[in-house]
Amino acid sequence: MADKKHESTKPVKRSIDIYALTWRMPIIIWQFLFFVGPLIFMIAMSFFLVENYRMVEAFEMKNWVKMLGRNYFWDSYFYTLGLASAATVLATVLAFPASYALAFKMSETARRWAVFFLIIPFFTSYLVRTFSWYVILAESGVINAILSYVNLGPYTMLNTKFGTMVGYMTLTLPLVIILQTLSLSQIDRNLIGAAHNLGCGRIRTVFTVIVPLAKVGLIIGAVFCFILSFGDFVSPYYLGGSKPPTLPIMIIDTTKSGQQWPRAAVVAVMMMVTLFSVAFAAIALAYRKRSQ
């Protein structure tokens, strides 16, 4: 008996699952080749120097001191952060009524068709969709032409924050609606019925039952919106006028200025650090268990 007890207390050696590892290797290799590798190279390049318009391998902090010590970088950083945050809040608020209607007011077939139509815009180039807004928002465009019939306008909508926000919504709003709809459609309808039986009205049920149950999907949708808006170059450049420049525009301007790729790498690294921080904080918030 003692020998059996002794044997049972021995640590069990876990053998490597070759089958599972074989199927995981392609995605691991893909991540290293197309994400981890370029990221490491970009971080290393931020320490290079540019001499006679050519990059020289070095390990110096000159680029970091140059970029982080200038007010124009931080002005652009907080401007980009503010635009992305505003777009995230706006997209989340605008998407929720549509997602709620798709999840609770429409049949399964109608919901599938609605999701399909929301996916269709991604079949076309984002640049093409942005230029279509360029025509619509121009001072001689469609919106001002309609407003002129009621003696309003013309209003300046291009080269403004409004134009940038329209571009952000074009990029992110369909995706946010899809993610919210998928999350809301998984909610148990019996819980909503129980809330109504206990005296909760429609609005109170939304905020006390539906939103907490769909928290993960709502936060993930907001994170995707923030990531896409924070790194977008097209909308702030073509619809926002690039003044003041966002960080993606600053990267382009920096590379054009004396081939300063290392300084542009500093801006890119700061963007990656911000996105990782926001993503990890949001995921932690989404999956945090409610304290009893």
pLDDT at 58: 85
- Residue 97's domain spans which residues? 70-286
pLDDT for 60: 86
pLDDT at position 195 is: 86
Picking from 259, 202, 247, the residue whose alpha carbon sits closest to that of residue 72 is 247
Mean pLDDT to the nearest integer, 44-64? 87
- Top pLDDT among 56 and 223 is at 223
Looking at residue 292, what is its pLDDT?
A: 46
> Is residue 50's pLDDT more than 90?
no
Range from 5-14, 75-84, 134-143 that averages highest in pLDDT: 75-84
116 belongs to a structural domain: yes
In a domain, 170, yes or no: yes
Q: Which of 3-17, 185-199, 246-260 has the lowest mean pLDDT?
A: 3-17
> Is 219 contained in some domain?
yes
Higher pLDDT, 218 or 1: 218
Domain count, the chain: 1
Query: For residue 127, is it within any domain?
Result: yes
Q: What is the DSSP letter of 50?
A: E
- pLDDT score for 10: 52
In this structure, which long-range contacts are made by residues 77-83, counting pairs with CB atoms below 8 Å and at least 24 apart in sequence?
77/247, 77/270, 79/244, 79/246, 80/230, 80/246, 80/247, 80/248, 81/230, 81/274, 83/161, 83/164, 83/165, 83/168, 83/229, 83/236, 83/246
pTM: 0.86
How far apart (Å, rounded) are the C-alpha atoms in residues 251 and 240?
16
Is 249 in contact with 168 (CB distance < 8 Å)? no
Note whether residue 30 is domain-resident.
no
Please indicate, yes or no, if residue 36 is contained in any of the structural domains.
no
Give the closest residue to 247 by CA, choosing from 217, 216, 274. 274
> Residue 164 is part of a domain; what is its CATH number?
1.10.3720.10
Domain-embedded: residue 272: yes
Average pLDDT over residues 157-177: 94
Q: How far is CA 69 from CA 109, 110, 127, 252, 274, in A?
A: 56, 54, 34, 19, 18
For residue 226, the model assigns a pLDDT of 97
